[in-house]
Amino acid sequence: EADIYQTPRYLVIGTGKKITLECSQTMGHDKMYWYQQDPGMELHLIHYSYGVNSTEKGDLSSESTVSRIRTEHFPLTLESARPSHTSQYLCASSVLGYEQYFGPGTRLTVT
Amino acid sequence: DQQVKQNSPSLSVQEGRISILNCDYTNSMFDYFLWYKKYPAEGPTFLISISSIKDKNEDGRFTVFLNKSAKHLSLHIVPSQPGDSAVYFCAAIPQGAQKLVFGQGTRLTINP
């Protein structure tokens, strides 16, 4: 069973604040991903990493940034939150890039 | 342009009957397909997958069918159970890539 954790689960924050969404996995997977999903819509890949010190932007343009200093940790940061950033953010990890294991997600609301 | 499409936003099926969820894709470079299930306030969980070299894969109550000429895949759940009520996402991986492209999802409701 996959062990991948995201904190916080829910976050309501004001415009202009800096936020970091945490994602950790205990499976030793090299590949990690961040997706953004709005209600009733598909998941969009916004960032991915294939290993330590490797990060790439995904298919959907995002103002967020990521880092991968440790294998198990893949945090996502928004320097200045805006209402347009309101969404659900899902983190995933994988061994080979096929079956990806998802965390529970963070639902972000920017007021 | 949306490369993976699930044209039915919702589906309602009676308990014990078969549920059939459909997915169409446009990119002929996709060579691996997956189905995920998502409950509210949780992340998607992997259900079943199929490689483009196959046309059918079965795992318990779940069977995925792939029709490459029609660029169509379907997920069959039989018999349907109340716990199957969730949103189902179809996803595809382009050849040589390690990234998933998702459809919009279909909300399945199993009625007692």
**pLDDT tens figures, B44-65:** 999 999 999 999 999 999 999 9
B window 43-82, beta carbon within 8 A of A = 43-46, 49
Q: Where are the domains of chain B?
A: 4-107
Sign of CA dihedral A80, A85, A89, A95: negative
Could you tell me the fold of the domain covering B4-107? Immunoglobulin-like (2.60.40)
Residue, of B95 and B25, whose pLDDT is higher? B25
Q: Does A33 touch chain B (CB under 8 A)?
A: yes
CB-CB under 8 Å, A58 with B4: no
pLDDT tens digits for range B76-104: 999 999 999 999 999 999 988 878 999 99
pLDDT tens digits for range A61-91: 888 999 999 999 999 999 999 999 999 999 9
Q: Where are the domains of chain A?
A: 4-110
The span from the CA of B16 to the CA of B29, in Å, is 36
Could you tell me the fold of the domain covering A4-110? Immunoglobulin-like (2.60.40)
Distance from CA of B80 to the nearest CA of A (A): 23
Q: Does A57 touch chain B (CB under 8 A)?
A: no
pLDDT less than 70: residues of chain A:
1-2
**Closest alpha carbon to A92 in B39, B23, B46, B93:** B46
CB-CB under 8 Å, B101 with A33: no
The span from the CA of B35 to the CA of B44, in Å, is 9
Q: What pLDDT is attached to residue B96?
A: 83
Of the residues A42, A46, A54, the best mutation for testing chain B's interface (the one with the most B CB atoms within 10 Å of its CB) is A42
Report which DSSP code applies to A92.
E
CB-CB under 8 Å, B44 with A43: yes
Name every chain A residue with its beta carbon within 8 A of the beta carbon of B102.
35, 42-44
Q: What pLDDT is attached to residue B40?
A: 85
